[in-house]
Each structure stands twice: as structure tokens, then as C-alpha cells.
């Protein structure tokens, strides 16, 4: 008789957990996955996928406006929010089905219920069933964080609810200055809402390159989005179907929807982590893991947003795959969390990989900056007041490209390709030796010959 019911029990049916389950099953492991909500996790159900669909839909308004400059006469048009939501729901349901089918095809069993740890090897399901496992993987992701409780917090929605609103808000106040806040600001503005963004810091997109932060803010404000920095929401009052949002600055804003998007926290509550002896990292509030995703308990691992390392879906997938290779494939794989490309699907779009100028200047004695800010070719005919930013951060001593930052249409697509070069430690000379592809915006990356700035850090005496 087997010592354990399964070789691997995965708590969480999101991208990281599903990848780990499928790869482990492929190595011959007996695998079980528990998911209490919907297969697919944050990204598929209430994150990147529906968000990107909404972003694409909101771009249509610009395309219609821009068409006149290219000779198109488009008659009266209308937009129906309910149709968008319904079609999005159909696509998410299709993807959920695909995730479920792929796990089952791999030979793993799915339990659509909550799972809680009773000890290092025992999991109790909400159905009452108990399962023992040789290894346990926690991949429960993250959840929206509303931050400090303020009066009227019960009236606030998160990104979760934003995907299911019955009506498009005419006026919306969004608190936050990161990915989610800015992406939804662009979405709602694109569909015609009056949008106000409130952020406590001095400027949006904290942690991004300073030139990117300034450029995105200027472009969003050109689009009619109001951005108020240096203050927070102090109170929300409801008046019938409307709200009054009171700010810490003393001013107030009327709207028919208020959204908080001030970050996400690891989904670690009520999982039985303490009972099993799984430690939490005091620095970030996520499950503490080593470079192999192992927790403080030898047979329990954790991947993805629940560890609060790098909260990106492809990272969770890579971590889940590496875990399965290491534990069940006997092929030790440690994930490299350096030089991870990322995108913000704001409007304008941001794509970035590698170091910011500020980070590079702190780490390297000689830093060269190549930067260009230009009007894209489409705008010359459409008449739209918009500009593209492209920036390369280079080690002045070795000529290695340390970072690339792009703001404009297609920024994410361009960055994915550039990330390969940056990961391979390409030099500025390698970029210069690459022939431009004309006419494109991205050709600027290989035609910038003269540094716009050179920084030399003086050695301490």
C-alpha cells in the first residue's frame, strides 16, 4: 500500500499551479489539484486576459477618431457595455474549460473545493475528504488590497468587480498609481467615462524609470484623464446612486463609481500554514521560499503571487515548471528572476526590461543614456497629439545594454523581442550593427547613435 494518497497536491488552479501539475503528471506523478473558485486563476478569470480584452475594446474609440485623417467617413456609432461584458464572459469560460481539460488530460485529478493544510502531509477538503501527499505546492495567488480602512470603504469596488459592472460608469474615481489603476483608467476613459486617478505618491508608476513616469502621465492627461498626486481618499459618501469621494487634501469629487487599485496581497489566509509550520516572509507578507521555491517545510513548496516575489503570470508559470522539473523530473532548475520584461497596458502602453536609469547609476560607475521622443507616423495623418518615448540605458564601461524602456503603441510587443537581446547581454554596438526596419517606431532602437546623457560617478575619496 502506498505511503501517501498522491505524490503531489496542488492548492490553487491558476497558471503556476496548473503548469506544475501538468509537468509533474507528465513525469509519472499522481497529482491532485484543488481550486475553490474557477480554474485559470487571477490571470485568466479576473486579471490579464479580461483586462487585455477590455483594453483592446477601448482602443476602438481612437481608431474611429483617427480614421478621418486617412479618408474614412464613419457614420454614427454606438457602444454597448453589456455586450462587451457578455462576450468577455464567453471567452473566459472557454479558457477556463481549456485549463480544466488540459489538467485532466495530463492525468491529474481536480477537486473544485477549498483545501486546507492539517499538517505537512495532510490536506482537508471542504467536502470533508482528507488527502495525504508526499509533496504539496501552494499556488493560491493574490487578492486586491484596499489598504487602510476609511469610512465608506464598503462602497468601493476592486478590479475583480470592475469586470462585472452592470453599467459603464459615467464618472469614476480610481485610487492607485500602478499597473491596475492606470490600465482601468485607460479602459474607462476609452469607453467614454470621465476618469479621475488619485495617488498618494509624487507621481504614478512608482518603481519605473522616471522618464517613463513623466511621459505616461503627460499622455494620459492629454487624453482627458485627471491625475491627482500627493493625496489619498479619506472618505466615501453614498447619495442614492452617486458617491462623493473626499480627499486628504480637503477637496471632493462626485462620481457614480469608486475603485481602489492600490496593490494586491498574497492570498495566505485560512490555509492552515501555521498548523503545517509554513513560515511567512516578514519583508513582503508572502510565503517564504528559497531559490527552488521550497518553504520552511521540506516537502511544501510555493510559487507565484502567494510568494510575493515577482507577481507576473509568466513568472508563476516558470516557477511551477521549474518546481516540477526539480522535484519530479530530477532535473534541478532554479528560476532566474533577473531581467524580467514587463508591460503596463495603460494608454499609452509601456514596455520595459532591465534596469531603470536610476538603478543603473546606483550600480555602475559609467552610465550612458540614449533617448528619443517623437511623433509616430500614424499621428502625422490622424492629427492625434501623442508622442512615443524610447530609452536605452547602457553601461558606459562595457557597452552592455542594461535596460530598455518604451512608451507608445506596440510597446509590449517590441519589448518582448528586445528582452532577448538584453538577457543575452547585447551591447550598444550590437544594436547599432543591426539594420533598421523602416518605417517603424522600433527602428529608433538601432538608430540612436549619440548619447543624450552620460553619467560618471566619482569615486569616494
Give 244's DSSP letter.
E
pLDDT, tens digit (0-9, with 9 covering 90-100), for 92-121: 999 999 999 999 999 999 999 999 999 999
Active-site annotation holds for 438: yes
Given a cut of 60, is residue 461 above it in pLDDT?
A: no
Which CATH code is given to the segment(s) 348-454?
Answer: 3.30.390.30
Q: Of these residues, 164, 337, 438, 455, which one is catalytic? A: 438
DSSP per residue over 284-337, as a string? TSSB---TTSB-SSTTEEE-GGGGTSS--HHHHHHHHHHHHHHHTSS-------
pLDDT, tens digit (0-9, with 9 covering 90-100), for 313-326: 999 999 999 999 99
The rounded distance, in Å, linking the Cα atoms of 209 and 48 is: 22
How do the domains of the chain map onto residue ranges? 6-143+265-327, 153-262, 348-454
Percent of the chain with pLDDT over 70: 99
pLDDT, tens digit (0-9, with 9 covering 90-100), for 374-432: 999 999 999 999 999 999 999 999 999 999 999 999 999 999 999 999 999 999 999 99
How far is residue 347 from each of residues 70, 205, 410, measured CA to CA in Å? 22, 13, 11
Q: What is the per-residue pLDDT for 460?
A: 47
Q: Confidence band (pLDDT; 50, 70, 90) for 459?
A: low
pLDDT, tens digit (0-9, with 9 covering 90-100), for 117-151: 999 999 999 999 999 999 999 999 998 887 788 99
Q: Confidence band (pLDDT; 50, 70, 90) for 224?
A: very high
CATH 3.50.50.60 fits 153-262, yes or no: yes
Contacts of 282 (CB under 8 A, 6+ apart): none
The three-state secondary structure class of 108 is coil
88 close to 52: Cβ distance less than 8 angstroms: no
The strand pairing partners of 369, in sequence order, are: 393, 453
Rounded to the nearest integer, the mean pLDDT of the chain is 95
pLDDT, tens digit (0-9, with 9 covering 90-100), for 13-31: 999 999 999 999 999 999 9
Q: Candidates 3.30.56.10, 3.30.70.1230, 3.50.50.60, 3.40.50.970; correct CATH number of 6-143+265-327? A: 3.50.50.60
The domains spanning 6-143+265-327 and 153-262 adopt the same CATH topology: yes
The C-alpha cell at 260 is 481602489
pTM: predicted TM-score of the whole model, two decimal places: 0.94
The rounded distance, in Å, linking the Cα atoms of 444 and 404 is: 12
pLDDT, tens digit (0-9, with 9 covering 90-100), for 278-300: 999 999 999 999 999 999 999 99
Amino acid at each position: 500500500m502506498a505511503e501517501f494518497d498522491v505524490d503531489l497536491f496542488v492548492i490553487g488552479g491558476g497558471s503556476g499551479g496548473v503548469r506544475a501539475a501538468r509537468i509533474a503528471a507528465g513525469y509519472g506523478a499522481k497529482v491532485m489539484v484543488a481550486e475553490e473558485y474557477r480554474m485559470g486563476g487571477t490571470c485568466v478569470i479576473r486579471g490579464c486576459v479580461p483586462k487585455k480584452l477590455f483594453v483592446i475594446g477601448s482602443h476602438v474609440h481612437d481608431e474611429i477618431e483617427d480614421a478621418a485623417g486617412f479618408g474614412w467617413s464613419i457614420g454614427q456609432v454606438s457602444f454597448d457595455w453589456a455586450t462587451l461584458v457578455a462576450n468577455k464572459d464567453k471567452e473566459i469560460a472557454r479558457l477556463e474549460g481549456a485549463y480544466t481539460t488540459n489538467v485532466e488530460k495530463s492525468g491529474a485529478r481536480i477537486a473544485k473545493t477549498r483545501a486546507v493544510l492539517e499538517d505537512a502531509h495532510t490536506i482537508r477538503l471542504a467536502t470533508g475528504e482528507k488527502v495525504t501527499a508526499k509533496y504539496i505546492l501552494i499556488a493560491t495567488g493574490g487578492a486586491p488590497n484596499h489598504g487602510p480602512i476609511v469610512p465608506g470603504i464598503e462602497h468601493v469596488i476592486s478590479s475583480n468587480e470592475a469586470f462585472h459592472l452592470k453599467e459603464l460608469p459615467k464618472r469614476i474615481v480610481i485610487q492607485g498609481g500602478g499597473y491596475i489603476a492606470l490600465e482601468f483608467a485607460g479602459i474607462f476613459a476609452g469607453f467614454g467615462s470621465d476618469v479621475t486617478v488619485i495617488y498618494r505618491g509624487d507621481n504614478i508608476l512608482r518603481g519605473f524609470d522616471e522618464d517613463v513616469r513623466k511621459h505616461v502621465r503627460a499622455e494620459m492627461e492629454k487624453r482627458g484623464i485627471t491625475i491627482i498626486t500627493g493625496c489619498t481618499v479619506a472618505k466615501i459618501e453614498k447619495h442614492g446612486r452617486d458617491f462623493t469621494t473626499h480627499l486628504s487634501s480637503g477637496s471632493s469629487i462626485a462620481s457614480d463609481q469608486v475603485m481602489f487599485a492600490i496593490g494586491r496581497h498574497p492570498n495566505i489566509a485560512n490555509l492552515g500554514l501555521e498548523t503545517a509550520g509554513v513560515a511567512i516572509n516578514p519583508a513582503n507578507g508572502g510565503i517564504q521560499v528559497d531559490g527552488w521555491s521550497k518553504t520552511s517545510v521540506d516537502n511544501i513548496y510555493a510559487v507565484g503571487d502567494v510568494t510575493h516575489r515577482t507577481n507576473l503570470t509568466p513568472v508563476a508559470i516558470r516557477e511551477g515548471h521549474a518546481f516540477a522539473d526539480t522535484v519530479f523530473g530530477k532535473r534541478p532548475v532554479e528560476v532566474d528572476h533577473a531581467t524580467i520584461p514587463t508591460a503596463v497596458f495603460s494608454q499609452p502602453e509601456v514596455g520595459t526590461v532591465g534596469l531603470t536609469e536610476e538603478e543603473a547609476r546606483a550600480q555602475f560607475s559609467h552610465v550612458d543614456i540614449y533617448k528619443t521622443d517623437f511623433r509616430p507616423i500614424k499621428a502625422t495623418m490622424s492629427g492625434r497629439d501623442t508622442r512615443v518615448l524610447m530609452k536605452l540605458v547602457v553601461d558606459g564601461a562595457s557597452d552592455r545594454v542594461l535596460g530598455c524602456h518604451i512608451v507608445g503603441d506596440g510597446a509590449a510587443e517590441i519589448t518582448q523581442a528586445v528582452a532577448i537581446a538584453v538577457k543575452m547581454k547585447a551591447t550598444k554596438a550590437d544594436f547599432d550593427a543591426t539594420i533598421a526596419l523602416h518605417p517603424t517606431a522600433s527602428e529608433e532602437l538601432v538608430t540612436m547613435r549619440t548619447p543624450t546623457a552620460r553619467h560618471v560617478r566619482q569615486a569616494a575619496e
